[in-house]
Amino acid sequence: MQKISGKSVQNGTAIGKIKVYTKIGTPVKRIHVNNAVAEILRVEKAVNQAIMDLQNLYKIAVNGAGEDSAAIFEVHQMMLEDEDYNDSIRNIIEHENVNAEFAVARTNEIFSDIFASMEDEYMKARAIDIKDISNRLIHILTGEEENILSDLKEKVILIADDLTPSETVQLEKSMILAFVTVHGSLTSHTAILARTMNIPALISVPIENINELDGKIGIIDGKEAVLYIEPDDNTIEFYEKAVLEEEVQKKLLLELRGKPTVTSDGKEIHLCANVGNIGDIAFAQSNDADGIGLFRSEFIYLGSKDYPTEEEQFQMYKQALQLMEKKKVIIRTCDIGADKQVDYFCMDKEENPALGYRAIRICLDRVDFFKTQLRALFRAAVFGSLSIMYPMIISLDEVKRIKEIVSEVQTELETSGIPYAKHVEQGIMIETPAAALISDELAREVDFFSVGTNDLTQYTLAIDRQNGKLDSLYDKHHRAILSLIKMAADNAHANGKWIGICGELGSDLELTKTFLDMGIDELSVSPGMILKVRKRIMEL
Ligand code: PEP
Ligand code: MG
């Protein structure tokens, strides 16, 4: 039995088979070959195989999502048949006497660079398609497993080096018992996802030879932050009892469903859920959320191969509103950037992405892209109780510019005779110290505030939330952060506006009383935390 300690990001116990996820795209080796003709034949066979796979994917996608969504697979087939692309691979094999995989990888670099450097936004975005078809060929040539994330057949403890937000969106969540990552930080999105799903998760677990664990039995003790590999019988027996006890505790908490979130002296709090996609709404409902306090819409972009269209977004937002019936749903506009990178956005590499081109900064720069989302949101708002929230605000000018764009969008919808909601509550995230410090001015311009404590902590304490080495300095209870929240709360209330907290701190039970004393009107937490926070509030 092996016992390895890490850091816990979500309590709980899990026992099960380990599945190791290693990233696709491990560097392709350059190998000298004597028989170039044989290598060229291998490529031709791989291209044929890839085209057949794409034809199958096309059929599945047409049935599942319609012709528009399936069209990408036809485009990929055409690209795979492109003469220039195939000639390049052949030439590299013939002239350099190298293996087929290397020639495909080299061709990928050349062609995707050409597309990425094009002026036209549409052509620029095709770089990702080149990467996609090249990866497909490389997987066929190497026989490497393509993607286990969306194709898990049994419940597993998922162990990975690290998981990016775009990898987490592919996960077949019903098959995950727990997460373990070798890297990662306390507020990374893997941690947030584990809290959403209410399953144990450990980060910073120093596992050597991660691949050797695949298929072995593991136990996660989220409380003690320990991973056991191939546990002995006594350990299994001990943790089986813990799992049963946790089930009992969960059942007790479930009795709080349907009860109002009210303190013993009668103060009622709006207790909502944070979600990343439509699928998470089921977690929000089963934990009796009063509404959705944060719908991270960027996960729709992270889960797409190309910009989601207005129609696709409209359908998703409408579905979210309908699933929540008449309850309020706050959808945050796209918060891409920093740790949430999307290839087809073709963004330059930055020295300090967290302080860089992200969120509202992209939206106010790429206005057409922003308007597509706004149109979808205002159209969907007809079907329920929608509020829109804008992330990463630092100035009054940004809010004024957003209002101008919103009014243009509404005029365009009006002129085209497309139904939309005229009055939609609109608020901003307070997640930069600047926003908190000028919250008196901002409160006059918006309908509500929601405090994003994850970023507010990062920017106030100058601590990169992705850097696990700094976790010990990430003092969530720092007086500076609590003072900024209090300042924003006072300014919101002085202007007759409401304020919520949607960052992870909102579910910190040690601070629930402090937040109530500040007059915070809404807490929006991971679905798995709702009933625990309700219990705490009822006890106050
Ligand atoms: C936050 O910063 O607290 C927040 C809720 O947004 P995200 O975690 O998605 O950056
Ligand atoms: Mg944030």
For the stretch 493-526, pLDDT in tens is: 999 999 999 999 999 999 999 999 999 999 999 9
Identify whether the C-beta of residue 277 lies closer than 8 Å to the C-beta of residue 169. Answer: yes
Place of tokens 């066929």: 140
Instruction: Tell whether 287 and 387 lie within a shared domain.
Output: yes
pLDDT band with cut points at 50, 70 and 90 for residue 69: low
- The tens digit of pLDDT for each residue in 312-336 reads 999 999 999 999 999 999 999 999 9
Q: How far apart are CA 20 and CA 33, in angstroms?
A: 32
Residue 260 lies in a domain: no
Length of the chain, in residues: 540
Long-range contacts, 120-127 (Cβ 8 Å, 24+): 124/346, 125/306, 125/307, 125/344, 125/346, 127/343, 127/346
**Quick one: which of 495, 500, 497, 489 has its CA closest to 525?**
500
- The tens digit of pLDDT for each residue in 190-211 reads 788 888 888 899 999 999 888 8
State yes or no: 465 annotated in a binding site. Answer: yes
Distance 107 CA to ligand 1 centre (A): 38
Higher pLDDT, 63 or 273: 273
- The tens digit of pLDDT for each residue in 126-180 reads 777 888 888 889 888 887 655 667 677 789 999 998 887 767 776 778 899 999 9
Q: Say which CATH number the domain at 204 has.
A: 3.50.30.10
Residue 445 is encoded by which pair of tokens?
A: 């311009």
Q: Check whether 366 has a pLDDT greater than 70.
A: yes
Atom of ligand 1 at shortest range from CA of 189: 8
Chain centroid offset of residue 96 CA: 42
Strands (DSSP E) contained in 256-395 are: 270-275, 292-296, 328-332, 385-390
The confidence score (pLDDT) of residue 190 equals 75
From 297, 298, 332, 335, the mutation candidate for ligand 1 (largest count of ligand atoms within 8 A of CB) is 335
Element (DSSP H or E) covering residue 138: helix 127-142
Q: Say which CATH number the domain at 284 has.
A: 3.20.20.60
Residue 523 lies in a domain: yes
Collect all residues with Cβ–Cβ distance below 8 Å to 308 and sequence separation of at least 6. Answer: 300, 301, 316
**Quick one: which of 398, 408, 417 has its CA closest to 372?**
408
Residue type for position 110: I
Residue 29 lies in a domain: no
Look at residues 124, 142, 160 and tell me which one is the last residue of a structural domain: 142
Q: Say which CATH number the domain at 62 has.
A: 1.10.274.10
Residue type for position 53: D
Residue 43 lies in a domain: yes
Burial of 195 (0-12, 13-18, 19+ CB in 10 A): buried
Strands (DSSP E) contained in 26-120 are: none
Identify whether the C-beta of residue 195 lies closer than 8 Å to the C-beta of residue 10. Answer: yes
Residue 259 lies in a domain: no
Identify whether the C-beta of residue 116 lies closer than 8 Å to the C-beta of residue 126. Answer: no
- The tens digit of pLDDT for each residue in 290-311 reads 999 999 999 999 888 889 999 9
State yes or no: 536 annotated in a binding site. Answer: no
The confidence score (pLDDT) of residue 221 equals 95
The confidence score (pLDDT) of residue 498 equals 98
Look at residues 219, 252, 285 and tell me which one is the last residue of a structural domain: 252
Identify whether the C-beta of residue 154 lies closer than 8 Å to the C-beta of residue 237. Answer: no
Collect all residues with Cβ–Cβ distance below 8 Å to 367 and sequence separation of at least 6. Answer: 405
Residue 344 lies in a domain: yes
**Quick one: which of 31, 40, 28 has its CA closest to 98?**
31
Q: How far apart are CA 372 and CA 281, in angstroms?
A: 23
Distance 500 CA to ligand 2 centre (A): 14
Give the CB-side neighbour count of residue 156, counting CA atoms within 13 A. 21
Q: Work out whether strand 13-21 and strand 217-221 pair parallel, antiparallel, or are unpaired.
A: antiparallel
Burial of 200 (0-12, 13-18, 19+ CB in 10 A): buried
Identify whether the C-beta of residue 494 lies closer than 8 Å to the C-beta of residue 449. Answer: no
The confidence score (pLDDT) of residue 431 equals 97
Identify whether the C-beta of residue 52 lies closer than 8 Å to the C-beta of residue 147. Answer: no
Instruction: Tell whether 389 and 521 lie within a shared domain.
Output: yes
Residue type for position 371: K
- The tens digit of pLDDT for each residue in 442-456 reads 999 999 999 999 999
CA distances from 436 to 464, 484, 499, 520 (A): 19, 6, 12, 14
Residue 258 lies in a domain: no
Residue 49 is encoded by which pair of tokens?
A: 């195989």
Q: Check whether 218 has a pLDDT greater than 60.
A: yes
Asked which of 119-123, 204-208, 269-273, 423-427 is least confident by mean pLDDT, the reply is: 119-123
Q: Check whether 59 has a pLDDT greater than 90.
A: no
pLDDT band with cut points at 50, 70 and 90 for residue 25: low
Average pLDDT, the chain: 91
Collect all residues with Cβ–Cβ distance below 8 Å to 22 and sequence separation of at least 6. Answer: 160, 161, 210, 211
Instruction: Tell whether 73 and 187 lie within a shared domain.
Output: no
Asked which of 111-120, 207-216, 280-289, 506-515 is least confident by mean pLDDT, the reply is: 111-120
Interval 98-116 mean pLDDT: 90
State yes or no: 224 annotated in a binding site. Answer: no
- CA torsion 407-296-63-306 (nearest 10°) is 70
Catalytic, 334? Answer: no
**Quick one: which of 352, 342, 348, 268 has its CA closest to 308?**
342
Chain centroid offset of residue 3 CA: 30
Catalytic, 502? Answer: yes
Burial of 443 (0-12, 13-18, 19+ CB in 10 A): buried
From 339, 429, 476, 485, the mutation candidate for ligand 1 (largest count of ligand atoms within 8 A of CB) is 429
Instruction: Tell whether 186 and 95 lie within a shared domain.
Output: no
Interval 235-250 mean pLDDT: 94
Interval 425-445 mean pLDDT: 98
State yes or no: 30 annotated in a binding site. Answer: no
DSSP code, position 309: P
State yes or no: 454 annotated in a binding site. Answer: yes
Look at residues 123, 142, 161 and tell me which one is the last residue of a structural domain: 142
Instruction: Tell whether 415 and 455 lie within a shared domain.
Output: yes
The confidence score (pLDDT) of residue 62 equals 74
Determine whether the shortest distance from the Cβ of 335 to ligand 1 is under 6 A: yes
Determine whether the shortest distance from the Cβ of 452 to ligand 1 is under 6 A: yes
Instruction: Tell whether 352 and 337 lie within a shared domain.
Output: yes
Residue 31 lies in a domain: no
The domain in which residue 42 lies consists of: 36-142
Residue type for position 162: D
Q: How far apart are CA 377 and CA 327, in angstroms?
A: 16
The confidence score (pLDDT) of residue 64 equals 59
Distance 299 CA to ligand 2 centre (A): 13
Instruction: Tell whether 239 and 338 lie within a shared domain.
Output: no
Residue 11 is encoded by which pair of tokens?
A: 């309590």
Element (DSSP H or E) covering residue 261: none
From 166, 185, 196, 296, the mutation candidate for ligand 1 (largest count of ligand atoms within 8 A of CB) is 296
Instruction: Tell whether 122 and 168 lie within a shared domain.
Output: no
Instruction: Tell whether 423 and 448 lie within a shared domain.
Output: yes
Asked which of 94-108, 115-129, 131-145, 464-478 is least confident by mean pLDDT, the reply is: 115-129
If one counts the domains in the chain, the total is 3
The confidence score (pLDDT) of residue 145 equals 59
Determine whether the shortest distance from the Cβ of 454 to ligand 1 is under 6 A: yes
Distance 187 CA to ligand 1 centre (A): 9
Determine whether the shortest distance from the Cβ of 308 to ligand 1 is under 6 A: no
- The tens digit of pLDDT for each residue in 330-359 reads 999 999 998 888 888 888 889 899 999 999
The confidence score (pLDDT) of residue 155 equals 93
The confidence score (pLDDT) of residue 330 equals 98
Catalytic hit among 76, 139, 189, 334:
189
Determine whether the shortest distance from the Cβ of 275 to ligand 1 is under 6 A: no
Determine whether the shortest distance from the Cβ of 455 to ligand 1 is under 6 A: yes
Instruction: Tell whether 462 and 362 lie within a shared domain.
Output: yes
Q: Check whether 378 has a pLDDT greater than 80.
A: yes
Residue 424 is encoded by which pair of tokens?
A: 């939609």
Chain centroid offset of residue 407 CA: 29
DSSP secondary structure, 376-390, as one string: HHHHHGGGSEEEEEE
The confidence score (pLDDT) of residue 26 equals 61
State yes or no: 431 annotated in a binding site. Answer: yes
For the entire predicted model, the pTM comes to: 0.77
Distance 447 CA to ligand 1 centre (A): 19
The confidence score (pLDDT) of residue 279 equals 85
Q: Check whether 24 has a pLDDT greater than 60.
A: no
Instruction: Tell whether 340 and 420 lie within a shared domain.
Output: yes
Closest residue CA from atom 8 of ligand 1: 454
Atom of ligand 1 at shortest range from CA of 502: 5
Q: How far apart are CA 105 and CA 69, in angstroms?
A: 27
Instruction: Tell whether 242 and 306 lie within a shared domain.
Output: no
